[in-house]
Amino acid sequence: MQALHERDRWSAAQRDEQLLVLGVTPKLAKTDGRINASGACMPQNTWWKHGIVYQIYPRSFQDSNADGIGDLEGIRRRLDYIAGLGVNAVWISPIFPSPMADFGYDIADYCGVEPIFGTLEDFDRLIGEVHARGLKMILDFVPNHTSDRHAWFAESRASRDNPKRDWYIWRDGKPDGSPPNNWISNFGGSAWQWDETTGQYYYHAFLKEQPDLNWRNPEVRAAMHDALRFWLKRGVDGFRVDVIWHLMKDPELRDNPPDPNYKPDRPEIDSLLQVHSNGHDDIYAIVNGMRRVLEEFDERVLIGEIYLPVERLVTYYGTEELPGAHLPFNFQLIFASWTAPALARMIEDYESHLPDSGWPNWVLGNHDQKRIAARIGQNQARVAAMLLLTLRGTPTMYYGDEIGMTSVDIPPEAVQDPWEKNEPGLGFNRDPQRTPMQWDDTSYAGFSTAKPWLPVSPLYHEQNVEALSGDGSSILNLYRKLIASRRKHRALSIGSFKLLHGEGNLLSYERQHENERLMVFLNLGETEIEARLPENRTGTVIVSTYGEPQAEQVPNTFTLRPHEGVVVSE
């Protein structure tokens, strides 16, 4: 595809815009012969299949200019650490100009860098050094909404006949003046904001400072595709696309039905079933449009942020005719009950739903969800690390999980998260999982020399990269060993998956590639349990969550210590 002449590329894109408008499924051209429309011919060693993604929340990774907020130069200075972990790609949460109403998920310019984070030159230097280390860089793309300070929205709200009016979703109120429908914002309250100047409401699925774009408008699609191209041309290796399933709403904007199971201790958004406000069937052509833009370039990855049940999630892989995301994010580990039977069922269920050409992926945490160590405790966080890094499918790690970072208490006066400010006290504050990375034992954990934007964990004196690096049995060194094993053993990175056992406290499975067979045994409980290798096999422990294995050679039946996980080779 890259060989295509610029002019041909544009005419292909324009043709497909036309087809989309006409409701016709665009047929995909063959790309460069290695990658076909469905991804079915993609070699198993495509980087995003065998690689590991490491998410950085840029405000909290490393501050380089003493303003208490992380930045691009800070990330650059920590690249040796990241490369040393052995991961293959960094995904950086939004770095674009933003008033920060939702900490970067409210973008005021898709083709720039927020001054708090640095400059475009800083970005170019960073990506150069990322690539020089053999790493890939994934950016966040936030296409569902802009900031209300984006120039497009300023135009759109200026008058009803402004050429950009239809770039956003404007509607009259009902005859009694109330909002056009009952849709609720993800951060609470009506999703419609009255605009005095033009006497209409605009729709915002999140904050009122985040008006939703109208993706049914071809000019919006073209502008957003160009924003993707801007970064792809700068060498970006892929995108994690924010709330991708939200892009297409019911064209008639029908009311959402109430959820009969709603309890008031849940966020207000949960009081309605989100059947009309997102995930309309037209979404697949939109996702395909982005995929096609990425396929103008070599080996780029499209990751979709999607919170949907597995049978709907997998539809975002698309079809051979209309390929979608390479990796629709699979968040099931975040919500799973942490028991062997529940995990076993969940893994098998996910595997069985995957389309033939769909490559799996697993996520343990992110900037929106309670940290894994806070959810299941430090002991099981090690087991979770082993699970994440030995399952079949691309793993995504969240910065700081590798040192066991846990939820940090945020005093009311320090709260930053707009969701917590809108719906306080429900337990959905996202600040506790966004606190500064803990590098060393110096003030502010080596994150900054100034007071950070969120408090540093009081545990940082012991729980920091420097201290844990020197401790052979630390969670950090466990992560390093697991990652090294995944890189070394193709059975782990691209091998097949077979469940062996998922009862009581034991979860075990086998990974196989060609002649290599590895088995993983995880004790999800706090007492010793017995584990058995299949048939009459015996094996060698290559990693234990304890650091040192009890014994390197294991007989057919062996004991797992409390909370112990082991990877065993035949």
Contacts of ligand NOJ in 203-232 (CB under 6 A)? 206
Task: Pick between residue 1 and residue 397 the one whose CB is nearest to ligand NOJ.
Answer: 397
Contacts of ligand NOJ in 123-162 (CB under 6 A)? 142
What is the number of alpha carbons within 13 Å of residue 75 lying toward its C-beta?
A: 29
Contact 568, 534 (CB under 8 A): no
DSSP state of 110: T
Ramachandran angles phi, psi of 340, nearest 5°: -60, -45
Question: What gap in Å lies between CA 105 and CA 143, rounded to an integer?
Answer: 10
242 binds ligand NOJ (CB under 6 A): yes
Task: Pick between residue 116 and residue 347 the one whose CB is nearest to ligand NOJ.
Answer: 116
Which token pair is 179?
């909002």
The residue annotated as part of the active site, out of 63, 73, 114, 242, is 242
Question: What gap in Å lies between CA 208 and CA 101, rounded to an integer?
Answer: 10
Query: Which residue's Cβ lies closest to ligand NOJ?
Result: 105
Contacts of ligand NOJ in 303-332 (CB under 6 A)? 305
Site string for ligand NOJ, 164-203 (x = CB under 6 A): ----------------------------------------
| DSSP 3-state percent helix, strand, coil across the chain (nearest 5) | 30, 15, 50
Contact 324, 282 (CB under 8 A): no
**At closest approach, how far in Å is the CB of 59 from ligand NOJ?**
12
Contacts of ligand NOJ in 443-502 (CB under 6 A)? none
Question: What gap in Å lies between CA 350 and CA 347, rounded to an integer?
Answer: 5
**At closest approach, how far in Å is the CB of 368 from ligand NOJ?**
5
Instruction: For CA atoms 58, 61, 63, 64, give the dihedral sign.
Output: negative
Task: Pick between residue 326 and residue 367 the one whose CB is nearest to ligand NOJ.
Answer: 367
**At closest approach, how far in Å is the CB of 437 from ligand NOJ?**
18
Q: How many residues sit close enough to ligand NOJ to count as binding (CB under 6 A)?
A: 9
126, 6, 25, 33 alpha-carbon torsion, rounded to 10° = -80
Question: What gap in Å lies between CA 20 and CA 15, rounded to an integer?
Answer: 9
**At closest approach, how far in Å is the CB of 102 from ligand NOJ?**
5
Contact 242, 141 (CB under 8 A): yes
Question: What gap in Å lies between CA 325 and CA 320, rounded to an integer?
Answer: 12
**At closest approach, how far in Å is the CB of 109 from ligand NOJ?**
16
Judging by DSSP bridges, how do beta strands 516-523 and 529-532 pair with one another? unpaired
**At closest approach, how far in Å is the CB of 143 from ligand NOJ?**
10
For the question of residue 242 being annotated catalytic, the response is: yes
The residue annotated as part of the active site, out of 106, 296, 402, 564, is 296
**At closest approach, how far in Å is the CB of 246 from ligand NOJ?**
8
Task: Pick between residue 243 and residue 492 the one whose CB is nearest to ligand NOJ.
Answer: 243
Ramachandran angles phi, psi of 190, nearest 5°: -60, 150
**At closest approach, how far in Å is the CB of 484 from ligand NOJ?**
30
**At closest approach, how far in Å is the CB of 141 from ligand NOJ?**
11
343 binds ligand NOJ (CB under 6 A): no
Which token pair is 388?
């994440």
Task: Pick between residue 368 and residue 516 the one whose CB is nearest to ligand NOJ.
Answer: 368
Sequence-distant (6+) residues with CB within 8 A of 236 are 127, 137, 138, 139, 300
**At closest approach, how far in Å is the CB of 431 from ligand NOJ?**
12
Nearest by Cα to 525 from 378, 344, 340 = 340
Task: Pick between residue 243 and residue 346 the one whose CB is nearest to ligand NOJ.
Answer: 243
Question: What gap in Å lies between CA 233 and CA 222, rounded to an integer?
Answer: 16
Task: Pick between residue 102 and residue 564 the one whose CB is nearest to ligand NOJ.
Answer: 102
Task: Pick between residue 91 and residue 497 the one whose CB is nearest to ligand NOJ.
Answer: 91
102 binds ligand NOJ (CB under 6 A): yes
| Binder among 82, 89, 100, 243 for ligand NOJ (CB under 6 A) | 243
Within 10 angstroms of residue 6's Cβ, the number of other Cβ atoms is 8
Judging by DSSP bridges, how do beta strands 200-203 and 496-503 pair with one another? unpaired
Tokens 């950086």: give the residue: 92
**Host H or E run for residue 510:** strand 506-513
For the question of residue 282 being annotated catalytic, the response is: no
Which token pair is 16?
């497909």
Task: Pick between residue 78 and residue 204 the one whose CB is nearest to ligand NOJ.
Answer: 204
Would you put residue 455 in left (φ > 0), alpha (ψ -120 to 50) or beta?
A: beta
**What is residue 274's three-state secondary structure?**
coil
Task: Pick between residue 48 and residue 105 the one whose CB is nearest to ligand NOJ.
Answer: 105
Contact 540, 526 (CB under 8 A): no
**At closest approach, how far in Å is the CB of 71 from ligand NOJ?**
19
Task: Pick between residue 433 and residue 474 the one whose CB is nearest to ligand NOJ.
Answer: 433
Which token pair is 210?
């985040």
DSSP state of 197: T
Q: What is the DSSP string of 465-482?
A: HHHHHT-TTSHHHHHHHH
By the criterion CB under 6 A, which residues form the site for ligand NOJ? 102, 105, 142, 206, 242-243, 305, 367-368
The residues annotated as belonging to the active site are 242, 296
